[in-house]
């Protein structure tokens, strides 16, 4: 690390003592490690957050599922059926 810094500092015209360079090198290393850790955490251990659009669509799907389930149950009751499904746009039951 210090070797690269030496060149970087030189090309930027910055003069630093070996101790300062060591310090800066360690700070940069820590910073990079922290960034890598944060990236790792965000990718691996956190489930991605859903946007409002997806959340709305999911609740819409849940609502429709419940509606279909309720409709299916009412057909089962009325027709004394065990299976209810839609085929070519018609309600079928067994
Ligand atoms: Zn989304």
Q: What does 4-24 look like in DSSP terms, one character per residue?
A: HHHHHHHHHT----HHHHHHH
| Ligand 1 centroid distance, CA of 78 (Å) | 40
Token pair belonging to 53: 């659009």
Q: For residue 67, how far is its CA from the centre of ligand 1 (angstroms)?
A: 24
The pTM of this model reads 0.43
pLDDT 10s digits, 52-91? 999 999 999 999 999 989 988 999 999 999 998 888 888 8
- Ligand 1 centroid from CA 28, angstroms: 35
């Amino acid at each position: 690390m210090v070797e690269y810094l030496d060149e970087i500092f030189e090309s930027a015209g910055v003069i630093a003592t070996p101790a300062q360079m060591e310090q800066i090198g360690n700070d940069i290393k820590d910073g990079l490690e922290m960034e890598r850790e944060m990236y790792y955490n965000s990718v691996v251990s956190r489930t991605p957050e859903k946007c409002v659009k997806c959340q709305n669509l999911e609740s819409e799907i849940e609502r429709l599922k419940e509606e279909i389930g309720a409709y299916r149950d009412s057909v089962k009751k009325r027709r004394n059926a065990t299976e209810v499904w839609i085929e070519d746009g018609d309600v079928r039951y067994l």
